[in-house]
């Protein structure tokens, strides 16, 4: 594994601050920027190393946020546990498949995924649902199915997958979005750690960079959360602006990947 310079670790902390800020400001979807920032800002040339490192960083960020949601009582632990348990198996399968794919091809597919995330962020989601929902024999099969599928995608791309987990939990159990967001962090943490472990087994996690990224993310998240409280009445506009940023980054990634693969 190539040793990074001190400047690159500082840039890694800055990249973490950007992701943390975006997560604090607009919520789900912010972590999708982790991989492109590590590749194009920090300068990590190996896409697999970028994905493995970001998977751990995103998991650590989700775990920190999970503590806050748990204190607020917005985590349905049994539902989240079954979903995450099924998804861990999927994440192991997905990350194994991701490691076997050419790095530039993986980045191109990642860019396509970013376009999907941007489109989903443009859509509003209803806050209605059953706040008293429990784990039952009726919703358990849906949770296992959607959890496994989401875990595969999360592991394959090395992402937290919150933008997929939240609607999956709402579909499977009809819980309100504020419970789905809190409960989704159990899956994001579990999927990220599973993916990071799998990539670390192949030497594709730069631990100092990961911790620098997490440290920057904590600071950025504090500023993003504070600003979000002041701009709460402009949530829709913020999501639209952030989605547009994701589109721009995705298009840039597609261009760079096409160039590296000899299509440009």
pLDDT score at 126: 61
CA distance 22 to 30: 5
Q: Are 24 and 223 in contact (CB under 8 A)?
A: yes
Q: What is the DSSP string of 85-146?
A: HHHHHHHHHHHHHHHTS-HHHHHHHHHHHHHHHHHHHHS-----S-TT----TTTHHHHHHH
> Among candidates 153, 20, 143, 140, which has minimal Cα distance to 97?
153
pLDDT score at 2: 64
Which pLDDT tens digits describe the chain residue by residue (264 residues)? Answer: 567 899 999 999 999 998 888 877 766 666 788 999 999 999 999 999 999 999 999 898 888 888 888 888 989 999 999 999 999 999 999 999 999 999 889 999 999 988 888 887 777 666 678 889 999 999 999 999 999 999 999 999 888 787 788 888 988 999 988 888 889 889 989 999 999 999 999 999 999 999 999 999 889 888 887 887 777 667 667 777 778 888 888 899 898 888 887 776
3-state secondary structure (DSSP) of residue 74: coil
Q: Are 95 and 156 in contact (CB under 8 A)?
A: yes
pLDDT score at 29: 66
pLDDT score at 215: 94
CA distance 142 to 58: 26
pLDDT score at 260: 80
């Amino acid at each position: 594994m190539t040793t990074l310079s001190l400047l690159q670790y500082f840039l890694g902390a800055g990249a973490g601050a950007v992701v943390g800020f975006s997560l604090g400001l607009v919520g789900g979807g912010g972590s999708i920027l982790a991989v492109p920032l590590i590749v194009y800002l920090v300068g990590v040339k190996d896409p697999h190393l970028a994905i493995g490192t970001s998977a751990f960083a995103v998991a650590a960020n989700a775990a920190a946020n999970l503590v806050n949601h748990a204190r607020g009582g917005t985590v349905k632990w049994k539902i989240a546990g079954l979903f995450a348990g099924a998804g861990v198996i999927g994440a192991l399968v997905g990350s194994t498949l991701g490691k076997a794919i050419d790095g530039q091809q993986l980045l191109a597919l990642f860019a396509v995924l970013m376009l999907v995330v941007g489109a989903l962020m443009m859509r509003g989601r209803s806050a209605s649902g059953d706040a008293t929902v429990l784990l039952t024999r009726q919703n358990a099969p849906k949770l296992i199915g959607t959890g496994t599928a989401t875990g595969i995608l999360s592991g394959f791309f090395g992402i937290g997958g919150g933008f997929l987990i939240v609607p999956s939990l709402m579909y499977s159990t009809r819980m309100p979005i504020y419970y789905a967001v809190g409960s989704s962090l159990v899956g994001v943490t579990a999927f990220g750690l599973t993916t990071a472990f799998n990539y670390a087994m192949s030497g594709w996690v730069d631990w100092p960079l990961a911790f620098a990224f997490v440290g920057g993310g904590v600071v950025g998240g504090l500023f993003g959360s504070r600003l979000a409280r002041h701009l709460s009445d402009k949530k829709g506009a913020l999501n639209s602006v952030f989605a547009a940023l994701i589109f721009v980054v995705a298009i840039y990634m597609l261009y760079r990947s096409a160039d590296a693969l000899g299509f440009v």
